[in-house]
Amino acid sequence: MRHTLRALFAATAIMGAVTTAQAQEDVNIIVVSHGQASDPFWSVVKNGVSQAAEDMGVTVDYRAPETFDMVAMGQLIDAAVNQSPDGLVVSIPDADALGPSIEKAVAAGIPVISMNSGSDVSKDLGTLLHVGQDEYDAGKAGGEKLKEMGGDKGLCVNHEVGNVSLDLRCKGFAEGFGGELTVLPASNDPAEILSKVKAALASDPEIDTIMTLSASLAGEPTVTAVSESGMEGEVNIASFDLSANFLQAVADGNAAFAIDQQQYLQGYLPVTFLALNAKYGLVPGGNVPSGPNLVTKEKAAQVIDLSSKGIR
């Protein structure tokens, strides 16, 4: 009899575990971002998404257009809505272009959380909350810091013209910096950025400050451009976001600081929140600011290892 009871308890436990696993596997979340997982910045977001899926025991599908393309991204959101997922995570670099698709998801009863970009418009579109940083305020904080460091004439290198979030970074930087500022439009090709920054420095040697909007795509080639122009120590360089090489430049004194928005959290937290919402009806009551944090020379060395591992 005792053996029979043990066998019954064991079978019940196994059935319970299987039922729980099946329930978890039934939770399906779709992430649609404007950045590709192959991009150094977005690979960290994707790492956060993947870890959250594993930790929460849910299925997550990460999707992005092949290039920065709002029409294609809107189509990806529409396709996700047609699949009726238990939750949808979106970035909102252009609310005018993506708003109708996001509102369609909300109208269909799909819980939506925005991340990375769109903090100023996400609530109006009906999302549950936003995980990210206020881009304008982050730019302003960076500008104020560079002004304190003695900057008078600067560049803001925009590698993705048309991305509203990046425009806000430059606008915030302009207000915080207060000095003469030029926006330098470029593509996301580091070689092009290197060439354009060198040309700008050659045409105006009074430039003493450069803000870039991506450490890997623009910050690193800007450090090289300043070095090759023979202006090390004369130009303060700062960048949004992190990369191991740019952090090393900060640690070595060849760059001033990086603005960390902790994009790993931008991938991890929305998936976690939507999983908890699907399973238990739980959701935070407001937006979650993931940044900004200024990573200066004193902090850079501590962050380099995590950056090389795709976490920072």
CA nearest to 123, candidates 112, 134, 133: 112
Taking the model in full, what pTM does it have? 0.77
Please provide the size of the chain in residues.
Answer: 312
Rounded to whole angstroms, the Cα distance separating 300 from 239 reads 13
Backbone φ and ψ of 83, nearest 5°: -90, -5
CA dist 56 and 208 (Å) reads 48
* CB contact burial 12-26 (16+ within 10 A = b; e otherwise): eeeeeeeeeeeeeee
The pLDDT, as a whole number, for residue 18 is: 39
Would you state the pLDDT for residue 23? Answer: 45
Q: Which residue has the tokens 């926006």?
A: 183
Report how far residue 136's alpha carbon sits from residue 182's, in angstroms, rounded to the nearest whole number: 17
Place of tokens 């099946």: 22
10-residue stretch averages of pLDDT, the chain, 312 residues long: 46 43 71 90 95 98 94 98 98 96 98 94 97 94 97 96 90 96 95 98 97 96 98 97 94 97 96 98 96 93 87 90
Task: Walk me through the domains of the chain, giving residue ranges and CATH numbers.
Answer: 2-132+263-281 (3.40.50.2300), 135-260+297-308 (3.40.50.2300)
Dist CA 271 CA 293 (whole Å) = 23
Handedness of CA 91, 93, 95, 97 (dihedral sign): negative
SS (H, E, C) 239-281: EECCCHHHHHHHHCCCCCEEEECCHHHHHHHHHHHHHHHHHHC
Residue written as token pair 């740019």: 246
